[in-house]
Amino acid sequence: MNKVADVHIFLLQLWIVHPALMGTMTSIIVLFLCWTIRDSVKMKGIPEKHVFVTGCDSGFGNLLAQRLHRKGFIVIAACLTEKGSQELKTCTSPTLKTVILNVTNPKSIDSAVEYVTAETGNKGLYGLVNNAGRATPIGPTDWLDMEDFHRVLDVNLIGLIEVTLKFLPLLKKSRGRIINVASVMGRLAFGGGGYSLSKCGVESFSDSLRRDMQHFGVKVSIIEPGFFKTGVTSLEIIEKDLNRLWDRLTPDVRCAYGDKYFQNYLKVQRLSMKTLCSADISKVTNCMEHALIARYPRTRYGAGWDAKFFWLPLSYAPAFIADIMLQLLLPRPICSKRSLAKNQIDV
């Protein structure tokens, strides 16, 4: 009892001595509670609405299609391959529809739009989840050429934009939702290649789209996942592509980096993918579901502990801090200024 009384006396003294501090704390608590309550309010009558999800062969899209299907949504899952389409059908019911979609092919997108238009009728499309994406080629910038950049940008950004634009009439008809999958690398670029560029573009496109579509009742949300174990982060695919890039380098560039740099770069990739990548991809699909079901969907969703407590906070820090931290993680080329200075001192 004495301890409880002491706490009460301390709080009373704090209130008397520091009323401004207590007022601020009270306001923060009240705002947090109000936000939590508002965030938990769900839409009514959500099931039996049409949702179109891209990139459903595996990973986030595949799991999301299955979960939305079980919740009663009418899911139209877009897969890149016939194999992915058949495998998804085997673990769901015939009410889940699939289409083959290559987001880099305008004719393929047009065919998907025609199919969805016929399926939705006068209802329109309630949800569009732009999930399709790729990561490779990724590596030091001067290892890449324009074709390498196009391979990623054409899928992650240009394809996403074209899919969105062509489905907008159906989404405006139902005052629906658009969920675009970006990445923490869209906030903090720590790898050369088109991936960070594309995800940064997704962020900007989604922001402008959200502001334009608010007049028509269409809501736009951005998903910013950290590192997760999916086909995009497959270590086998990443290493195979890095070897391709290394083998085609000119002798001058390869000499400037050094064989040791390449081996250490591969080690960093292995370490980061094995230690940072989470196997629980439901952390991402939970965000997607909330963006579809919540009455007040969030503008941005940070998915994964590494995203929420490391990458996204680091993106707000001064650039030199992020530069230093990433320099500690990555190896140094043999011809870097510091390496040359060290060699001169050793001599």
Given the structure tokens 């992020």, which residue do they identify? 322
Q: Contact, 85 vs 100, CB < 8 A?
A: yes
H or E element at residue 236? helix 235-248
Q: Contact, 261 vs 183, CB < 8 A?
A: no
In 3D, which of 169, 166, 159, 40 has the Cα closest to residue 105?
Answer: 159
Q: In sequence order, what DSSP letters do the residues of 45-67 get, joined into one string?
A: S-TT-EEEES--SSHHHHHHHHH
Q: Three-state SS for 71?
A: coil
Give the helix, strand, coil percentages of the chain, each rounded to 5.
Answer: 65, 10, 25
> What's at 190, amino acid-wise?
F
CA 53, CA 327: separation in Å to the nearest integer? 37
Longest dimension (CA), the chain: 78
> In sequence order, what are the beta bridge partners of 79?
100
Cβ neighbours of residue 323 closer than 8 Å, sequence gap 6 or more: none
Q: Which one is catalytic: 115, 126, 195, 257?
A: 195
304: left (phi over 0), alpha (psi -120 to 50) or beta: left
Q: Is 265 a catalytic residue?
A: no
Q: Kindly state the tokens that stand for 333.
A: 């080329």
Positions annotated as catalytic residues are 195
